[in-house]
Structures are given as structure tokens and as C-alpha cells.
Structure 1
Amino acid sequence: MQECSPPAQVAGRTPEKALLSPSRARYGEGMSRIDRPALGILLICAGVTAISVNDFQIKLLSGGYPLHQIVFIRSAIGLALTLVLLRFEGGFAALRTATPGLHLLRGLFVVAANMTFYAAVAVLPLAQATALFFVAPLFITLLSIPFLGERVGPVRLFAVVAGFAGVLLMQVPEAEGAGTVSPGVLLLPVAAAFLYASMQVLTRKLGAQASAAALAIYIQTTFLIVSALFFLVAGDGRFAEHTTNDSLRFLLRAWHWPTPEDWPLFLGIGAVAGVIGYCLSAAYRLANASIIAPFEYLGLPLAILWGWLVFGEWPSVLTWAGSALIVGAGLVVFFREGARPRPNRAARR
């Protein structure tokens, strides 16, 4: 998972004033109405593949380093790479925004979602944590009712119920990992999905008005600030000494300089962080979300593949069944959302 990790925003109404904003006009959105679905699909697949690589690399490092140290190094490298890309999207002038508070709030939602998700990845099988996180579009559907005033029909409501039934199925003791970890850990990816969905609903309500590189830079900077604050408060590991919970220990253990053997993993995480931030932001600016968002489910078979190849994990029957319900429900939501008539259908966000 990353700042705009799987699954991303469902297509929604775009305010007319957002279509006419200067930043959208300058960076190829709004009035120009970019419509390049093939490139959007290619970028989303590249971004999701990078996310899956990022996830298993963090899981590999989770036994020896604190999460906030991994995030700090990853974000510093990713930020440097994204600043290079920013040169091709208007330079530092592209960072100007009329909504700094919105970008800060979006960044905090993403940081909280990442921290919660990776606290689960340190303990749970990679495929199980990934599948549980894919309830995010179902949360987006539910949150769109009170916050966006959208009407959700019976088909999508049934899909939401079916998806959460899949979550419950994966909580039973027979599901892989459920018998060896606390129930709270199994809910961490679901909490991460809720935080991520809240960020996406906020984006849909207010509209994104920045280039892909700028959006990635705002997020990476927020990661750097939050992880630095974690270091100042808990970087000496004093809080980790008082807990036996593996997820909390991953969050709170002491910083230490990476070994030479681990530096390639840290550099790899930083490189894919730059790829993730740019590819996902660019994909959703180039094509309608209802077209490209279903391709984010590529992340689940990739998580299963890495879990099997790297960690020797293979999902149980209940994990397979729960995953099928969650993915199926999410696809129903995506396709039903894409089929709904809307006045600004050609608008890109």
C-alpha cells in the first residue's frame, strides 16, 4: 500500500468550478478533457505492481526496523525522485495551491492508513492483509451517502453487505493467521481501508487541483514530517519495551542504522515509492476512475504471488472465499458506479 494505494477513488461528480480551475487548465485537465484510458490503465497497473513490491519489501524489513524509520527513508528517496519529475510538470510553480489545508488533511489520512496497514502486514499473511484492505471502495460507497448526498441503489447496497460478509469470514479462527494473532490485528487493514476511503471521499467532495508530481510531493512530505515526529517521540524504542504486541513493536522499536545487506531493500522501497506516487496520481488524471480502478485488484494476485515466493504463505480456503466476496463486491460497486449517468461524465479528476 501507498499514498494512493489499492483500491483508489470511485468515479464521482466533479464540481464545475473545479473543471475551470487554473491549475487543471495548466496541467492538462478540465477544459482540455484528457481522455487516454489505455495510458491510464498502463499507469495504474505499473503503480499497483510497484505497491505489491513495496509491501513485501516492508514486510521483509519489519522484523528489524521500526515502521517510521522505513517510511522516513522511503519517503526521502521517493521525494527526491518525484522532484525530478516535477521539472516536467511546471517546476516548483506547480506546488502552489489554494487549498493547503486540504492537501495536509489528505496527507494525514494517507499516512494513518499506511501506518495501520503495515502494522498488520508485519503480522498477517500478505494476501490476507491486502484482501481485507480492498473493502475501501465499499466504505467509499457508504460514506458517499451522508457526505456527498449520493443515492445508493439496492444492487450496490447488496454488494457492500456481501463484501463485509467476506471480511467477517476472514476473521474466523480457521482463516489463515486468525488463530495466531489477536482479533484487533485482523481489523487493522479494515481500519486502514476506512481511513483511505475517507481521504478519497474528501478528494471527491473538494476536487484535486494539482499535477500528478505535485500531489505525490505533498503526500511524501507529509510522510517525512510524521515519521520524523515519531522519531522524536519514540525513536529510542522506550515504548516498545513495554509491549509484546508484534504490530506495536513494529511501530515503536528503536531506530538503528541499516546494515549493508538491508540497504538495497531500503533503496528499492524508495525507488518504488516515487513510481507509486506518480503513476497512481497520473492514471486518475488521464482516464475515468470507473475504467481504471478495477485494475487495482491486480494487487491481490500479486500479493498472493509474493507471499508464496518470498514468505512461503498460501491462503486458506476461508481466506480465498472471503477474498472472492470482497473483490466481487468491489467490482460490482465500480461497474455500477461507472454505469450511472452524470452531468460531467467527460470530466477527469
Structure 2
Amino acid sequence: MTETPNRTLAAAGAVLIYACVIAFTDNYVRVIAADGGLWQFHATRTAMAVVLLALLAVPLGLRLRPRRFGAVFARSAIHGAAMLIYFGALAFLPVAQVAAGLFTAPIFVLLIQRLAYGQSISLLQVLAVAVGFVGVVMVLGPEAMSGATFAALLPVIAGALYAMGNIATRQWCAGESAETLVAGFFGMLGVLGLIGMAVLWLMPVAVPEGAEGFLQRGAVWPTGSFLWWTFVQAAGSLLGVGMIIKAYQIADASKVSVFEYIILPASAAWGFFLWGETLSWLAVAGMALIALAGILIARQSPTASRQ
């Protein structure tokens, strides 16, 4: 099979667009969480995204039908699970902290490529994994050291799944169009959202007020704020996810995953401008260590995949 060429500069530009858009829209998940639930959010966002894709399909000549349904379905399921965890954590953790956990992905990319595809790991890359782990602990802060670890570790779990999905994008879905993978991604989240609402309808649970009830809240009558910011999420995610998928299709996963670190300062900057949030120096230092780990991993990775 012909090897997919790497277009690293174009991938970097696509990631920059993705990071700036997603960092902004994700800061408003807390607003969505105050009025609605995680499951209704995903179902509603998918419905809006499907309408937008349908409107754009003909004028832009989009190809939405997958070439390999099984590969697209499997990738969508992995990325869908990662994003369920990610958006759930956004309701009660700062965006920059959640993003830092998610972007442990290069560490997991390295480990998965070694275990699943036989790619060698250098001593420097082993050191990078250790540095990245220290950075994660620093970013997670007191929660990770006081015993209340599960909530703080959710973004890291999402990072592991995200890494698997990113590798799948290139290894399993290289021949698919970006819009096909975007449609599969949103479709899977929509199905998961409907399942979640059905389960909570059949087995209702006590729901805390406001954002604290984001995970437990089933279907409710949507407010204007919920609908508007969910629409902003749908439109922004279509653009952002399309850009990141394209980046992973045209460049090696270990390279693209490092470019994604731009979302860390972007998330922190939007958090400051929108909400006045500031990060502790410990968290900033931890983010820098995670980024350093990703850069060390990328510098030691092969320039092209040999699979």
C-alpha cells in the first residue's frame, strides 16, 4: 500500500485553527451545564451538526459515505467515549486543566505505537514519559494528591482514549474524507446522548442544581441560552474537528499531537478573558512539562510511518 505523505506545515496550520476555535467554545460548556445535561447536550449538538453538514454537503461537494464502515464506526466509538469524559469534566474543572489531561495523548500515542505496531522507544522517550507524568500530577494539583483522584484523573483517561482514536485516524481511516469522519464522530456522540437520556428516563436519579447536575440530568425543556451555546458548539466543533482530522490524515500522529499543545495556552487565555480565571504557577509549570514531554517524543519519532 502506498504510504501517506507527511505535510507537516499544513497540519500545523490546521491545528492552529482547531485550537483557537475549540478553546473558545469549550469555555462555554459551563454555561450549557447550568441549564442542561451532558446527554441532551450531545444529542442536541449532533442534530444541529447534522443539519449544518446537510446544508453544506452539496455546495461544498462533501463526501459523507464511509469507504470502510467498520473502521469509521470503531474510530467514532473510541473518540466518542473520549469526548463524553472530556465534556463531563468541563462542567466542574477549568478548561485548561481538562485540556492538560487530554493532551497527555502523545505519551499514550508513543506507548500504543510501541505495543501495537512495534515502533521502538528510545531512552529519551522513556524520560519524556516520566517528565510528562510529573507534569500531569502538577497540573492536577491538590486533588491528585489528597485522595479525591477519580474526578481529577478523568481528563487523563480521556487522553488515553483520544490517543487511540488519533492513531486509528491514520492507521484505519487514511482513505476516508475528513467530513466522513466528522459525521461519524458526531453521529456516535448523538447516539450515546440518546442512550444516556433514555437510561435516565427509565432510571431517574437525584439531580443537583446548576452545573453540578450536568452528568445526572436527563432531558429537560431547553432554555434559549442552552440552545444558543449548543449551536455555537456544533458550528465551532464542525470546523475544529474537521481541521484536526485533516491534520492527522496528512501528517504523522506523533507530530500532530505535539502541535495540539497550542490549545493549552489558548484555553488558559480564553478562561482569563472570559471568566477572569488564572492558573497557579504549579499548574503552569506542569503544563510546560507535559508540552516538553510531547516535544521530546516527537523529536525522537520516525519521520514517517512504516506500517
The TM-score range, normalised by the shorter chain, is: 0.7 to 0.9
The alignment's TM-score, normalised by the length of structure 2, stands at 0.88
Query: 236, 239, 256: which is aligned to 1:275?
Result: 239
1:184 and 1:320 map into 2 onto residues whose CA distance is: 21
Deviation at 1:257, TM superposition (A): 2.4
Give secondary structure in 2 for the equivalent of 1:313. Answer: coil
Cα 1:167–1:344 shift into 2, 3 Å? closer
Is 1:95 the counterpart of 2:65? The answer is yes
1:66 and 1:284 map into 2 onto residues whose CA distance is: 31
**Equivalences for 1:111-260 in 2 at 5 Å?**
111-173=80-142, 182-235=148-201, 238-241=204-207, 249-260=213-224
Q: Deviations over 1:315-342 (max 9, x none)?
A: 11211121111111112112222xx355
Is 1:61 the counterpart of 2:32? The answer is yes
Alignment correspondent of 1:311: 275
Would you say the 8 A contact 2:78–2:165 is kept in 1?
A: yes
Comparing 153-162 with 110-119, greater Cα deviation is found at: 110-119
Q: Deviations over 1:237-292 (max 9, x none)?
A: 81244x89x76x32221322222244321221111121122222223334555655
1:91 and 1:121 map into 2 onto residues whose CA distance is: 31
Cα 1:325–1:38 shift into 2, 3 Å? closer
**Equivalences for 1:4-15 in 2 at 5 Å?**
none
Cα 1:56–1:172 shift into 2, 3 Å? closer
RMSD: 2.9
The alignment's TM-score, normalised by the length of structure 1, stands at 0.78
Cα 1:342–1:288 shift into 2, 3 Å? closer
1:114 and 1:187 map into 2 onto residues whose CA distance is: 14
Would you say the 8 A contact 1:236–1:254 is kept in 2?
A: no
Query: 27, 46, 53: which is aligned to 1:82?
Result: 53
Would you say the 8 A contact 2:196–2:218 is kept in 1?
A: no
Would you say the 8 A contact 2:109–2:253 is kept in 1?
A: no
Give secondary structure in 2 for the equivalent of 1:63. Answer: helix
Cα 1:343–1:71 shift into 2, 3 Å? closer
Q: Which runs of 5+ in 1 are unaligned?
A: 1-15, 20-29
Would you say the 8 A contact 1:166–1:326 is kept in 2?
A: yes
Deviation at 1:213, TM superposition (A): 0.9
The structure with the largest helix share of the pair is: 2
1:220 and 1:273 map into 2 onto residues whose CA distance is: 9
Cα 1:290–1:119 shift into 2, 3 Å? closer
Would you say the 8 A contact 2:106–2:258 is kept in 1?
A: no
2:151 and 2:272 map into 1 onto residues whose CA distance is: 21
Give secondary structure in 2 for the equivalent of 1:62. Answer: helix
Would you say the 8 A contact 1:52–1:302 is kept in 2?
A: yes
Deviation at 1:205, TM superposition (A): 4.0
2:255 and 2:303 map into 1 onto residues whose CA distance is: 14
Cα 1:205–1:287 shift into 2, 3 Å? closer
Would you say the 8 A contact 1:74–1:273 is kept in 2?
A: no
Would you say the 8 A contact 2:170–2:249 is kept in 1?
A: no
Give secondary structure in 1 for the equivalent of 2:130. Answer: helix
Fraction of identical pairs, as percent: 26
Cα 1:48–1:79 shift into 2, 3 Å? farther
2:128 and 2:7 map into 1 onto residues whose CA distance is: 29
1:293 and 1:178 map into 2 onto residues whose CA distance is: 24
Cα 1:45–1:101 shift into 2, 3 Å? same
Would you say the 8 A contact 2:252–2:305 is kept in 1?
A: no
Deviation at 1:169, TM superposition (A): 2.4
Comparing 104-113 with 308-317, greater Cα deviation is found at: 308-317
Comparing 200-209 with 130-139, greater Cα deviation is found at: 200-209
Alignment correspondent of 2:17: 46
